[in-house]
Amino acid sequence: MLKIEHLSTSYKTIDGDVHVINDLDLTIKDNEIFGIAGESGCGKTTLLNTLYDIVEFPLVIDQGRVVLEGEKNGSKFSYESGQIRKTWWNNISYVPQAAQSVLNPIVRLKKQFVDSIPKEDRKNETEAQTLERVANYLKELSLSPDVLEAYPFQLSGGMRQRAIIALATFMSPNVVLADEPTTALDVVVQKGILMMLMRLQKQLKNTLVIVSHDMGVHYQVTNRMAIMYSGSVVELGNTEDIFGDPIHPYTTMLVGALPRVGEDIQRVGIPGRPPALKDPPPGCRFAPRCPHATDRCRKEVPAFREVRPGRFAACHLLNEEVKANG
Ligand SMILES: Nc1ncnc2c1ncn2[C@@H]1O[C@H](COP(=O)(O)OP(=O)(O)OP(=O)(O)O)[C@@H](O)[C@H]1O
């Protein structure tokens, strides 16, 4: 489980601070596939990097923390921001954006696998014994152990991505983070990768966090999701509810822009562009693009709060609904 407690981060630049995550408070539960969606530049990767404890200058945590906790092999564990990296691979792993390029092209995969397995896990094993365990794991995932002898450049993009996912899940971590795991792959390969991730999550019953700008990926794969806009989460809820009954005007427009099977009307995108994070507008950052914005929206930042049971959103226009629900 990942607890995000009042987290705010910013990039320190010579032109001033760029605030990317703003007072975020949410829990990503055990045994769920959690999606993070939003347009390019809204802060999805920054959030994922902070969850994985890659907080390096110019990125700084201004407030709050992330806590990774759970139970493995009968022992409870808890790590917070600054310590989470101690348990990389073991309790949390990361499939980064453009993951295929993180493999060293001139080192055989078997060496890259062995090097990523912590010494404590290998105990007194010889390298051959470790590789046998890896080969058996690859077979379980319907991957040929022959890939271990290959150099990354000899594999297709889809095969490299599968190998990275195998590497990230080999130690059965409680949390797996995947940043745009299917971008740059063709549609058929994309489907195979998503199915592999879903199958692994079901098997490990762990937490899988998927970042994608593709709403179709969230619809197919995730159980709950967060919609980000301009550095903040603006809506959170069960994926089915978000698609069936979006409540934030941004989500409504995102979902409304999706084509439907069998429909021949032209769907329109969201007019305008997100604001520059360096110099955001006062009040609600979506107000300049929101067809319902009022003066209050242009002045006051809306609080992110529970609008209905399990549904959270940051929008002044929902106040009436909150009152109606007590
Ligand atoms: N090194 C940096 N220095 C300053 N600002 C940065 C830096 N990296 C990112 N940012 C700012 O953080 C914002 C969010 O970037 P991030 O990569 O997290 O977005 P994203 O939603 O993952 O985008 P994409 O889908 O394009 O990867 C950017 O719009 C940019 O303003």
Q: What pLDDT score was predicted for residue 106?
A: 87
Which atom from ligand 1 is nearest to the alpha carbon of 278?
31
Confirm or reject: Cβ of 45 under 6 Å from ligand 1: yes
Q: What are phi and psi of 216, to 5 degrees?
A: -60, -40
Number of H helices, E strands in the chain: 11, 12
Instruction: Give residue 84 CA to ligand 1 midpoint distance, Å.
Output: 22
Tell me if 169 sits within 8 A of 200, measured CB to CB: yes
Q: What pLDDT score was predicted for residue 322?
A: 43
Instruction: Give residue 47 CA to ligand 1 midpoint distance, Å.
Output: 10
Instruction: Give residue 306 CA to ligand 1 midpoint distance, Å.
Output: 27
Confirm or reject: Cβ of 40 under 6 Å from ligand 1: yes
Percent of the chain with pLDDT strictly greater than 90: 62
pTM for the model: 0.92
Overall average pLDDT of the 249-274 stretch: 78
Confirm or reject: Cβ of 41 under 6 Å from ligand 1: yes
Instruction: Give residue 309 CA to ligand 1 midpoint distance, Å.
Output: 32
Which atom from ligand 1 is nearest to the alpha carbon of 213?
25
Overall average pLDDT of the 4-22 stretch: 94
262 Cβ partners below 8 Å, 6+ apart? Answer: none
The whole-angstrom distance between residue 270's C-alpha and the CA centroid of its chain comes to 23
Per-residue pLDDT tens digits for 32-56: 999 999 988 899 999 999 999 999 9
Instruction: Give residue 45 CA to ligand 1 midpoint distance, Å.
Output: 7
Instruction: Give residue 2 CA to ligand 1 midpoint distance, Å.
Output: 22
Q: What pLDDT score was predicted for residue 175?
A: 97
- Which one-letter amino acid corresponds to residue 272? G
Overall average pLDDT of the 271-290 stretch: 88
Instruction: Give residue 230 CA to ligand 1 midpoint distance, Å.
Output: 10
Q: What are phi and psi of 63, to 5 degrees?
A: -160, 145
Burial class (CB in 10 A: 0-12, 13-18, 19+), 97: middle
The answer for 267, left when phi > 0, alpha when psi is -120 to 50, beta otherwise, is beta
Residue 97 has pLDDT above 70, yes or no: yes
What domains, with CATH codes, occur in the chain? Answer: 2-229 (3.40.50.300)
Residue 268 has pLDDT above 80, yes or no: no
Tell me if 34 sits within 8 A of 224, measured CB to CB: yes
Using 50, 70 and 90 to split pLDDT, how confident is the model at 326?
Answer: very low
155 Cβ partners below 8 Å, 6+ apart? Answer: 147, 163
Residue 270 has pLDDT above 90, yes or no: no
Confirm or reject: Cβ of 233 under 6 Å from ligand 1: no
Sheet holding 33-37, edge to edge: 92-95, 175-179, 207-211, 33-37, 224-229, 232-238, 311-314, 304-308
Instruction: Give residue 41 CA to ligand 1 midpoint distance, Å.
Output: 5
Residue 314 has pLDDT above 80, yes or no: yes
Q: What pLDDT score was predicted for residue 53?
A: 96
Tell me if 313 sits within 8 A of 321, measured CB to CB: no
Burial class (CB in 10 A: 0-12, 13-18, 19+), 81: buried
Give me the long-range contacts of 267-275 (CB less than 8 A, separation at least 24).
Answer: 274/39, 274/41, 274/42, 274/229, 274/230, 275/230
Which atom from ligand 1 is nearest to the alpha carbon of 43?
18
Question: Worst-scoring range by mean pLDDT, 24-38, 159-173, 197-211?
Answer: 159-173
Instruction: Give residue 44 CA to ligand 1 midpoint distance, Å.
Output: 8
Confirm or reject: Cβ of 254 under 6 Å from ligand 1: no
Model ipTM value: 0.97
Confirm or reject: Cβ of 214 under 6 Å from ligand 1: no
Q: What are phi and psi of 144, to 5 degrees?
A: -75, 130
Residue 187 has pLDDT above 90, yes or no: no
CA distance 160 to 158: 5
Higher pLDDT, 82 or 278: 82
Choosing from 17, 40, 97, 211 the residue with most ligand 1 atoms within 8 A of its CB, the one to mutate for a pocket test is: 40
CA distance 55 to 63: 13
Which residue minimizes the CA distance to atom 5 of ligand 1? 11
Q: What pLDDT score was predicted for residue 256?
A: 83
Using DSSP, state whether 97 is helix, strand or coil. Answer: coil
